Amino acid sequence: MKKIIQTSEAPAAIGPYSQAIESGNILFVSGQIPISPKEGKIVSTTIAEQTEQVFSNIEAILKSAGYSFQQVVKTTVFLTDMSHFATMNEVYKKYFTENCPARSTIAVKELPQGALVEIELIATK
């Protein structure tokens, strides 16, 4: 059974998709870009600030679905510039300190709304 996860504490979807879908004991979180849910737009310009906003959005979605970062098993990080990798990684490791999830990091030409970073993930109960 598929359950739609939606919270006002994270930005609304900007297309025909859900913030997250829970199927059984698995949560699939759509790629999150650094949109402030209060402002409705990207409000930061540095990779560190944008990564923090992405994790704030992810945390709100996880919490609303009854999950935590400890239950994340896979992440995919999209960066518009691989020179941002080290800075993104510094923020990333604040959220995953031990028993870290599997991860892929991919360089892309561009992201929606000019974002520098997007992160999607899968969590299990």
Looking up tokens 């409000």 gives 43
Mention every residue, 6+ apart, whose C-beta is less than 8 A from residue 70.
99
Rounded Cα distance, 69 and 105, in Å:
18
Note the pLDDT of residue 124. 98
pLDDT in tens, 67-86: 999 999 999 999 999 999 99
Per-residue pLDDT at 1 exceeds 90: no
Domains of the chain: 2-124 (3.30.1330.40)
Note the pLDDT of residue 94. 97
How deeply is 80 buried, as exposed, middle or buried, from its count of CB atoms within 10 A (0-12, 13-18, 19+)? middle
Using DSSP's 3-state secondary structure scheme, residue 28 falls into: strand
pLDDT in tens, 13-28: 888 999 999 999 999 9
Mention every residue, 6+ apart, whose C-beta is less than 8 A from residue 79.
47, 85, 88, 105, 106, 107, 108, 116, 117
- Looking at every residue in the chain, the average pLDDT score rounds to 96
